Amino acid sequence: MSLETTLSDITVRLRQGRFPNEQAISQGIVLRVLQELSWNTWDTTVVWPEYKTGEGRVDFALCHPPTKPADFIEVKQPGKAEESVRQALEYAFHTGVPFVVLTDGRTWSFYLPAEQGSYEDRRVYKLDLFERPSAEAAEILRRYLERSRVESGEALETARKEYRNRNRRSQAKAAIPEAWRELVEKGDEDLVDLVAGAVESKTGVRPDKDEVAEFLAGLGKPIIVESVQRKVAQPARVPIRPITAAANSESSRSGKLVMLDKSHTYHNAKDAMVIVLRELAKSDPTFLERCSQHPDAQGRKRRYIARSPEELYPDREDLREMRETLPGGWFVATNLNNVLKKTIIRLATEVAGLKFGKDVIIEF
């Protein structure tokens, strides 16, 4: 099996939440990838698990010659890779290892611990398997981790050259519009709160979070082109939609949800989200756990699907009643904007191996 095929299979399984913890990621992803990169994963003097440093243990050390680490690989549970960057880089720096990889299976971050600047500055590259075609992801992994390149020193030299290459900044700049589009389309909580707070500062009144989320989601739509063409000489005006009771009420979101050719009536966005999660959980006892591990089911500070109200609202005890119970002792937060609720419906559809818009059809 080629590395490209292996990565395609891993990505499908990641989207379905098949790797819930560090052990699963280590065995089901990291070792598979290393084997495709020509590392003898059975030889523990070459691929050394739980390598002991003076400060702690690193999940894997890639050694050349045997027993002498050339690279460290640190594995974390989904969504937690960035939290251990300081620890991993300090382990490497004090041990004299020049290259570090941090991964949660989906993302792979490559660092030069001895370089100058912040920890973020020392990152050479970040690969996201969800964002890159398998062929491109395979090329990047070969560049930094293929055994022959590591042993010859070519991988390390390439990383150092790229680190100093200012053209990397232009690539990052070109990706800004796409990153913005994804944030607004998913109803990112932090972005919505930031805008809502700015509006409150200007007017003294905090806007409804759904109004903000829907405004942001609409920014990517070409809704003003015709107006600009007609009135190019006139100053632009922002259309203001009257805020009515219907606009602020989820009752305006009632409709019909079709899931695997079966219709369900919902009264609001919350109902639609809960129906989808409950129905898809009926036939698969692992479904909700896999949903909870999906990157889109987590904010920067909390989870949207969890085992306890405390995980849903770690910093807001006053909001912990805003939840719905799901099968198997799971909970879903309901203090979410409607765009984010739709994002959760999308991710649930994906985890179940279904197609949004085909197997699951909903409009709100």
Reading the chain (364 residues) residue by residue, the pLDDT tens digits are 799 999 999 999 999 999 999 999 999 999 999 999 999 999 999 999 999 998 889 999 999 999 999 999 999 988 887 778 888 898 898 899 999 999 999 999 999 998 877 788 889 999 999 999 999 999 999 999 999 999 999 999 999 998 887 556 767 788 888 888 888 888 888 899 899 888 888 787 889 988 998 898 887 654 433 333 343 344 444 443 333 333 334 445 678 899 988 999 999 999 999 999 999 999 899 999 999 989 889 888 899 999 999 999 998 999 999 999 999 999 999 999 999 999 999 999 999 999 999 999 987 6
Decide if 165 is inside a domain: yes
Spatial distance between the Cα atoms of 207 and 198, rounded to a whole number of angstroms: 10
Element (H, E) at 102: strand 99-103
Residues 6 or more apart whose CB falls under 8 angstroms from that of 179 comprise none
Do 12 and 124 share a domain, yes or no?
yes
pTM of the model: 0.63
Angle CA 37–42–44, to nearest 5 = 100
**Could you tell me which of 11, 13, 6, 111 has the C-alpha nearest to residue 58?**
111
- DSSP code, position 253: G
Spatial distance between the Cα atoms of 352 and 111, rounded to a whole number of angstroms: 35
Model pLDDT, residue 242: 37
Do 26 and 129 share a domain, yes or no?
yes
Q: Starting at the earlier edge strand, list the strands of the sheet with 57-63.
A: 47-52, 57-63, 69-75, 99-103, 107-111, 123-128
Decide if 234 is inside a domain: no
Do 327 and 296 share a domain, yes or no?
yes
Model pLDDT, residue 177: 86
Decide if 241 is inside a domain: no
Domain extent, residue 88, equals: 3-172
Decide if 237 is inside a domain: no
Do 155 and 181 share a domain, yes or no?
no
Do 207 and 309 share a domain, yes or no?
no
Do 321 and 281 share a domain, yes or no?
yes
Give residue for tokens 């639609």: 272
Do 345 and 199 share a domain, yes or no?
no
- DSSP code, position 26: I
Decide if 15 is inside a domain: yes
When divided into structural domains, the chain yields a total of 3
Decide if 227 is inside a domain: no
Model pLDDT, residue 56: 87
Which residue among 222, 239, 258 closes a domain? 222
Decide if 35 is inside a domain: yes
**Could you tell me which of 75, 65, 4, 11 has the C-alpha nearest to residue 36?**
4
Do 275 and 303 share a domain, yes or no?
yes
Angle CA 341–343–344, to nearest 5 = 65
Do 185 and 317 share a domain, yes or no?
no
**Could you tell me which of 287, 281, 291, 262 has the C-alpha nearest to residue 361?**
262
Which residue among 137, 172, 207 closes a domain? 172
Do 21 and 119 share a domain, yes or no?
yes
Do 209 and 323 share a domain, yes or no?
no
Instruction: Give the domain CATH number at 159.
Output: 3.90.1570
Residues 6 or more apart whose CB falls under 8 angstroms from that of 352 comprise 16, 280, 284, 287
Model pLDDT, residue 351: 94
Do 191 and 91 share a domain, yes or no?
no
Decide if 11 is inside a domain: yes
Q: What DSSP line would sit under 51-92, residue for residue?
A: EE-SS-EEEEEEESSTTSEEEEEEE-STT-GGGGHHHHHHHH
Instruction: Give the domain CATH number at 333.
Output: 1.20.1380.10
Spatial distance between the Cα atoms of 50 and 149, rounded to a whole number of angstroms: 23
Spatial distance between the Cα atoms of 360 and 349, rounded to a whole number of angstroms: 7
Give residue for tokens 């796409």: 178
- DSSP code, position 100: E
Model pLDDT, residue 314: 92
Spatial distance between the Cα atoms of 246 and 190, rounded to a whole number of angstroms: 25
Q: What DSSP line would sit under 104-168, residue for residue?
A: -SSEEEEE-TTSSS-TTTTEEEEEETTTS-HHHHHHHHHHHH-HHHHHHTHHHHHHHHHHT-THH
